[in-house]
Amino acid sequence: MINAVGREIPDEILKRYGKEGFMGSCYRDNKPYKKASVSSHGMLDPNRKKVVSSIKEALEKCGAHDGMVFSFHHHFRDGDYIVNMVMEAAAEMGLKDLTVCASSLGAAHRVVAELIEKGIVTGIQTSGIRDKIGEAVSYGKLKTPAIIRSHGGRVRAIEEGDVHIDIAFIGAPTADEYGNLRAIGGKSDCGVLSYSVVDAKYADYTVAITDTLVPFPNFPPSISMTDVDFVCVVDEIGNPDKIASNVIRMTQDVRELKMAEDCAKVMAATPYFRDGFSFQTGGGGASLAVTRFLEPLMSERDIKMSFAIGGITRPMCELMEKGFIRTIVDAQCFDKTAIESISKDPRHYEISTSEYANPLNKGAFVNKLDFVILGALEIDKEFNVNVTTGSDGVLRGAPGGHPDTAAGSKCSIIVAPLIRSRIPTVVDRVVNVTTPGEAVDVLVTDYGIAVNPRRQDLIEYLTKAKLPVVKIQELLDMAKSIAGEPEPIKFEDEIVGIIEGRDGTIMDVVRRVKPQTTIHEIL
Amino acid sequence: MINAVGREIPDEILKRYGKEGFMGSCYRDNKPYKKASVSSHGMLDPNRKKVVSSIKEALEKCGAHDGMVFSFHHHFRDGDYIVNMVMEAAAEMGLKDLTVCASSLGAAHRVVAELIEKGIVTGIQTSGIRDKIGEAVSYGKLKTPAIIRSHGGRVRAIEEGDVHIDIAFIGAPTADEYGNLRAIGGKSDCGVLSYSVVDAKYADYTVAITDTLVPFPNFPPSISMTDVDFVCVVDEIGNPDKIASNVIRMTQDVRELKMAEDCAKVMAATPYFRDGFSFQTGGGGASLAVTRFLEPLMSERDIKMSFAIGGITRPMCELMEKGFIRTIVDAQCFDKTAIESISKDPRHYEISTSEYANPLNKGAFVNKLDFVILGALEIDKEFNVNVTTGSDGVLRGAPGGHPDTAAGSKCSIIVAPLIRSRIPTVVDRVVNVTTPGEAVDVLVTDYGIAVNPRRQDLIEYLTKAKLPVVKIQELLDMAKSIAGEPEPIKFEDEIVGIIEGRDGTIMDVVRRVKPQTTIHEIL
C-alpha cells in the first residue's frame, strides 16, 4: 500500500507485523486498544533477597535463553557501559538469537555491531541507530529488519505488546538492595531514568545494575522496587562526561547562530509566544542556540515560560535560574549542568517517557507544547523530514522525540542549513520519512524561512513580522542550483529497517544499501 | 474445602470466583502470573480537551451503562463527598446493577446503603464495610456477596483482573485541566492519592473530580495526566476536618496507655529494635499511643527509625520533626498534621498502595517492616485475627493494611483489651478470620502478653526482658471467667461476604445474620 506520506509499504511487511501503513497523525485518536498483559511474579516472602553478585548470575536467575529480548536505556549516551557488559556476558554464556530493544544505540555500543556480525544479535529495536550498528544494519548484516521508533512510539510499542521484553537492564546511578532506583546521588549520575520506566513495568524480569548501593529506602525512586527483580553491583555503570557528545553541542558557527536567531524571531512572531508558553529544543548546534536568543525577547515582553521539556541542557537550566522558566520537565539530561540542576532544583522534575511523548496514553506533555525546534538530515517539498538515514542511505540518526513533538506542538520549527558539505538538505524526496510533513510547520534555513502551506495563519504572522518567508520550492531550487542534482542512491530490494510511526503504523521502510555507495559523513 | 486457617470455603464459591482457599502466607511467592490487559484509548489530537462541566457529563462521556463497576478512594474517610455525588448522579441517570469498588466505605457513604436497599447497587468490593452499609450487607440486602480485601489485596485484585473497573473516580484536591492530580495545594487537601494509583492505571476511564483547578502542569503529580480522561470541577470534594474520625483517636484511657507502653517494651526487647528499624502503627487508641512511648526508648539507646509507614498521624510527624525518624512513607494521611507535614517536609513521601502493600508486586514496603502494631476485634487461640465482623456477626470493620503488614513484618504485635463492653476479645474461634495466625507474632492485652508459639525466639527475648508473658490459653480462660461463655451467633446459610486473603485466595466467608440477633455496638 501507499501510505499517507506517499511511501510504498510492501504488503508482506504489513502482514508479517500485523500493521497498517501510516494514515495520518490523528488516525488512532481516541480509538480503543488493549495493552499487553504483563507477566510477573509476587514477592510474598519478606526474606527473599534481590542482590546478585554478577550480571551472569542475574541472567541465570532470570532464566536467560536463546531468542530473548533484552532492553536498555540510553541516558548515558556515549558514556554507557551497561549494554556492552550485559551483551558480552550473554555472549559468553553462549546465548544467541538475541534482540536488543534499546531506547537508543550509538557509538558506545560497538559490541552490539560485533554481535550482529557474529549472528548472535539478530534483532534490533531502537530509536537511534548510528555508527557501526547503523552500517551493519544498512549493509544487511542483521538477520531481521531493525525496527526504528520515536521515544513516544517505543513506550507505545512496549505497552501494546508489539515487543515483549524478557529482561530489562537498567543502569542505575543509585540503588538500594530492594531495587529502588535513582539517577542522582551516585558516582555516575545520569539525572533521570525516564526511558526505563516502561521497560521495568512491562518486562518479565528487571535487573538493576548499579555502582552505588545506598541505604533503603532510596527515595523518591525513579523506578520503584515494585518493578525490580534483581540488583547487581558493578564497578562502573557509565561515564557521565560522555553524555554530552558531538550530537549535543554549543555552536559558535555564525550561520548556525543566524538560523537560531531566526527561529527565535519566528516564535516571537506567533500568538503562542505569550506568558506561560512552553518550549522544547533539540541538541543540535542551531537548535540548542535558540534558547539563548529567547531571553532578550522574553525580557522585552516581560513573559515567562511555563515549562521547558526535553532533552535538557545547560542553557535551559540557566534560563530557569534567571527566572525565565517556571518548570523544567526532564526526560533526558543532555549534559552535566542538567544533572546538577535536577539534583538540587525543586522546579526541575523527572518525567517518564510516557508522560513525555507516548501517543497512546491519555495525554502526554508533547500535546501541551507550543514550540519545538528540531533538526533534519533532509526535508522535502511536502515538509516530510528524515532524521534516520543519511543521504547515502545508511542509517545514522534517530527519530528520538522528533515525530512526537512535531505532532503534538502548536508550532514545530525545523532548523537546518540548506546545504551541508555540498549535500542539499531540502530535496525532492527524502530518503526515508521519519516525521510526516503534516506535523511540520516551519523550516528555517540560512537561505530563508518556508512555512507549510497548511499553516496559512503562520504565513500571515511571519510575513507581518517581516521575516524572510519563501516557498519551499524556492529553497529546493536554490539548493539544486548550488549543489546540483544529487545522484540517486543505489539500494537492494531487501528491507533492513522499518520506520514506525509513533502510533505503530508504518511510516517507511529502509532498504539495504549497495556496498559500492560512497558513505558521506553527515552530521 | 477447609483452608489453611481451618475455615470451610464452599466449593460452589471457589468455583464461581475461580479461586483457591487460603494456603499459607507464602503460597504464591515467586509463582508466575499474568496481569490484566488494560483497555485504553490514545490522546493523539492535541486539541482535544478533558474538562467537563458535571459528573453527569463525565458519566455520559465514559459511556456509563447498567452493570458497570465504579471505583473510589477513601482518603477523605468520613469527610468524603465524591462517592455520594457520583452514585447520586448515576442513580438519577437511571443506571442500575452497579458495583462500587472502593478502597474503603464508611459512615460518609449512607447513599450507597440506600442504593443497596433500592437494588441499584448490587455489588460491593471494599476493605472497610461499616455503619449502614455493613448492616445492609450483613442482613442480606446486597444481591451479590460483598468482596472484602486488604489494601494490598485490592491492588493485586485490580492488577490481576479479578475486578475490572469501568470508571475510576478520583477526588483530587488539585488538578490541572489535563488531569495531573495532587492531594495538596487545594482547599480540601487529603495529603496523598495512593489508593487511586492502581485504579487510574487499570480503569477503562478515569474521571478526576476537583474543587481546585490549578495551572498546568500540576507537578509533581500523584496521578499523571497520562491516566486521566476527564476533569470535572465541583464546589467541594470533601471535608478534611472529618478525615480524623473516631477510628483514629488519641487515647487518655489508662488501660490503653498501659497496653501501648507494653507494646513499646515488647519492641525494645527484640533484636529488631536497633538503629534503622522500621515501624507502622494503626489508628486505634492503644496502637496510636505506642508512638509516644517509643521516643524515650529510642533516646536512651540513641537510635533512629529509618522509615515510618502507614496511615500517618501527628505523633509520627512530630517524632520525625524531633529527629527520631529519617523518612516517612505515606499511603494515607490520618489527620491534618500529616497533611501539613507531607505538604512541606521533603522527608515525607507519598507512596502508592502497591508500593505499600501489594503482595504480588516485586517487593512492597510491608516486607521491609520490622514492627507493626495492630488492633483486633477478636483473636483466637491460633492467633487468627478478626477485624471485619463484630462479635454479633455484623460487618463493621476493615482489613485495611492488617493482613499485609502482619504478613510482611518481622514482628507483628496485636494490641487489644481482653474484654470490651463485657465481650471477650480472646475467643475460641473468631467469627471471621481476617489475618491468619501464622502472620501474627505477639498479642498485648491488659491481662498479659501472649506470643505465638511459632516464635520461640520472641518468647525468649520477652521473657528475658521480664515482660508478663502468658499462654494465649490463659488469656482465653481469664476472658471466659470474667465475661462468661459467649452465646453463639445465629447465621443463615446464605453467604453475604467473601474475605479474600491478600494473595487472592479465600480466607473466609461471611454469612447472613439472623435478624433477631442483638447488635452490640463495638468499636
- B/e letters for B206-233, b = 16+ CB within 10 Å, e = fewer, are bbbbbbbbbebbbbbbbbbbbbbbbbbb
Q: Please give the grid coordinates belonging to residue A466.
A: 517581516
Q: Which residues contact A296 (CB under 8 A, 6 or more apart)?
A: none
A92/A56 Cα distance (integer angstroms): 9
State the maximum Cα–Cα separation within chain A, in Å, rounded to a whole number.
73
A residues 464-483 closer than 8 Å to B (CB): none
Task: Return the pLDDT at B252.
Answer: 86
Q: Which residues contact A281 (CB under 8 A, 6 or more apart)?
A: A287, A288, A290, A291, A310, A311, A316, A372, A373
Instruction: Tell me the mean pLDDT in the region B52-59.
Output: 98
B residues 202-221 closer than 8 Å to A (CB): 206, 215-217, 219-220
Task: Return the pLDDT at A250.
Answer: 74
Contact B407 A359 (CB under 8 A): no
Q: How far is B428 from chain A (nearest CA, A)?
A: 29
Contact A38 B35 (CB under 8 A): yes
pLDDT digits (tens, 9 = 90+) for B433-443: 999 999 999 99
> pTM of the full predicted structure?
0.97
Nearest to B290 by CA among B413, B450, B460, B397: B413
Percent of chain A with pLDDT over 70: 98
Within an 8 Å CB–CB cutoff, is residue A200 touching chain B?
no
Of B42, B276, B349, the CB nearest to A219: B349
At residue B334 the predicted structure's pLDDT band, cuts being 50, 70 and 90, is: very high
Residue A244 and residue A283 in contact, taking contact as beta carbons nearer than 8 Å: no
Percent of chain B with pLDDT over 90: 93
Contact A40 B226 (CB under 8 A): no
B residues 35-94 closer than 8 Å to A (CB): 35-46, 48, 50
Of B41, B361, B408, the CB nearest to A30: B41
Q: Which residues contact B159 (CB under 8 A, 6 or more apart)?
A: B35, B36, B198, B202, B354, B358, B360
- B/e letters for B434-456, b = 16+ CB within 10 Å, e = fewer, are bbbbbbbbbbbbbbbbbbbeebe
- Which residues in chain B have their CB less than 8 angstroms from residue A277's CB? none
- B/e letters for B480-503, b = 16+ CB within 10 Å, e = fewer, are eeebeeeeebebeeebbbbbbbbb
Burial (CB count within 10 angstroms: exposed 0-12, middle 13-18, buried 19+), residue A400: buried
Task: Return the pLDDT at A284.
Answer: 80
A190/A298 Cα distance (integer angstroms): 30
Is it the case that residue B139 has pLDDT exceeding 60? Answer: yes
B417/B425 Cα distance (integer angstroms): 7
Task: Return the pLDDT at A522.
Answer: 42
Mean pLDDT, all residues of chain B: 96
Task: Return the pLDDT at A285.
Answer: 83
Q: How far is CA B389 from CA B3, B107, B376, B474, B516, in A?
A: 19, 16, 10, 24, 17
- Which residues in chain B have their CB less than 8 angstroms from residue A42's CB? 28-31, 33, 156, 359-362, 503
Q: How far is CA A242 from CA A189, A312, B40, B386, B510, in A?
A: 12, 15, 39, 59, 63
Residue B64 and residue B168 in contact, taking contact as beta carbons nearer than 8 Å: no
B133/B125 Cα distance (integer angstroms): 12
The H or E element that residue B198 is part of is helix B196-202
Q: How far is B208 from chain A (nearest CA, A)?
A: 13
pLDDT digits (tens, 9 = 90+) for B21-40: 999 999 999 999 999 999 99
B375/B311 Cα distance (integer angstroms): 13
Is it the case that residue B175 has pLDDT exceeding 90? Answer: yes
- Which residues in chain B have their CB less than 8 angstroms from residue A503's CB? 42, 44
Chain A to chain B Cβ contacts (< 8 Å): 211
Is it the case that residue B181 has pLDDT exceeding 50? Answer: yes
pLDDT digits (tens, 9 = 90+) for B237-253: 999 899 876 556 678 89
Is it the case that residue B520 has pLDDT exceeding 70? Answer: no
Which amino acid is residue B437, in one-letter code?
G
Q: Which residues contact B470 (CB under 8 A, 6 or more apart)?
A: B447, B448, B449, B450
Instruction: Tell me the mean pLDDT in the region B333-341.
Output: 95
CA-nearest residue to B49 within chain A is: A363
A residues 323-382 closer than 8 Å to B (CB): 327, 329, 349, 352, 354-355, 358-368
Which ipTM did the prediction report?
0.96
User: What residues of chain A score a pLDDT lower than 70?
Assistant: 245-249, 516-523
Task: Return the pLDDT at A244.
Answer: 79
Task: Return the pLDDT at A247.
Answer: 60
Q: Please give the grid coordinates belonging to residue B148.
A: 472484602
- Residue A370 phi, psi (nearest 5): -80, -50
A266/A488 Cα distance (integer angstroms): 34
pLDDT digits (tens, 9 = 90+) for B285-325: 888 899 989 999 999 999 999 999 999 999 999 999 999 99
Q: Which residues contact B30 (CB under 8 A, 6 or more apart)?
A: A41, A42, A43, A44, A45, A48
3-state secondary structure of A318: helix
pLDDT digits (tens, 9 = 90+) for B144-174: 999 999 999 999 999 999 999 999 999 999 9
Of B34, B41, B329, the CB nearest to A32: B41
